[in-house]
Amino acid sequence: MRRAAFLKSLAALAAAGAVPGAWAQPGANLKMLIPANPGGGWDITGRALGKALLDARQAATVVYENKGGAAGALGLAPFLAGAKGDANQLMVMGAVMLGGLITSKSPLNLMQATPLARLTTEYNVFVLPANSPHKTMADVVAQLKKDPGSVKWGGGSRGSTEHIAAAMIAQKVGSDPGKINYVAFRGGGEATAAILGGNVTVGGSGYSEFAEYIAAGKMKAIAVTSPQRLPGLDAPTLKEQGIDVEIGNWRGVFGGPGITPPQRKALIDALVATTQSPSWQEALKKNGWTPALLAGDEFTKFVEAEFTNLRTIMTQSGMIQG
């Protein structure tokens, strides 16, 4: 009887989240690290995911912390140290973080954290400021061929998918990718302000970050990095324009280092349930994201393969030395 009573009490405590290391839905109080400044793709993704977790009753509360810089590395470092063994902490991440770690040759090991799930894929769109003397990607390419350094490409951190795409474009059109003038910003808000202010020649990011400005006529979309045109956007693909470049930007979620297999499963189950919720489906539609759910060990394998693939692309395009 004593053992039965003890187990019953333990179960009650776990359900209330009072057992150290326990993670229970819907009573979890989650902390979401967004390793970027407000206004960018990771910020939009993290806050949309947090809202969907709440709406789907997979969390009781969600608090957010923005810590941008160095393609997410400035946020990754304290996450690896401070979230160890804590199953109530999540970190939004994606292809940009992998590219940034490769470019900077960072000593940080992302895989010390716990891969949970890939959520979305989003292709990049390249835009011109409304007052740009250029009208098309062909105009940009012509200037690029004449003087590579005179074209200022604005976007996210070094190693981001738009940075990689810019180098690939230069390579494909016969310009020197090592001479591209890429201006990296710490967050989407800063990049958007630079584009609107005409401080860069061409800007690149996910469509969701530029959609309202394109619709308002403040930016002109001149190319997308997708295999086909994006729904609702009147912009040709790079391939349509004779530039053989295609690259996507995926986003996912990691948990803290050293969480237990049951804790990891609980987090993955919560994320999978959340992606099926009306709230998340609304976020997908609103932001033009393509659902790309991949969870657990399959996601781990995907991230490891992505490190290899991105390193190859970046070496071939002249961004890094092999």
pLDDT at 92 over 60: yes
The pLDDT tens digits of the residues spanning 256-302 come to: 999 999 999 999 999 999 999 999 999 999 888 889 999 999 999 99
Contacts for 104 with CB less than 8 Å, ≥ 6 apart? 70, 71, 73, 158, 159
pLDDT of 322 reads 65
Helix (H, G, I), strand (E, B) or coil at 125: strand
**Contact between 116 and 271 (Cβ < 8 Å):** yes
Q: State residue 190's pLDDT score.
A: 86
Are 156 and 73 within 8 A, CB to CB? no
Residue 114 has pLDDT above 50, yes or no: yes
pLDDT-derived band at 203 (thresholds 50, 70, 90) equals: very high
Res 34 pLDDT > 80: yes
pLDDT digits (tens, 9 = 90+) for 121-158: 989 999 999 999 999 999 999 999 999 999 999 998 88
Say what the pLDDT of residue 320 is: 85
By C-alpha distance, which of 46, 49, 54, 51 is closest to 72? 46
Q: What mean pLDDT do residues 232-242 have?
A: 95
**Exposed, middle or buried, 16 (CB in 10 Å: 0-12/13-18/19+)?**
exposed
The answer to whether residue 26 scores a pLDDT higher than 70 is no
CA distance 83 to 205: 29
How many Å apart are CA 82 and CA 72, to the nearest integer?
Answer: 15
| pLDDT for residue 206 | 87
Residues linked to residue 64 through DSSP beta bridges, in sequence order: 32
Closest by Cα among 120, 121, 111 to 254? 111
For residue 24, the one-letter residue type is A
The answer to whether 96 and 156 have CB atoms below 8 angstroms apart is yes
Q: Binning pLDDT at 50, 70 and 90, where does residue 187 land?
A: low
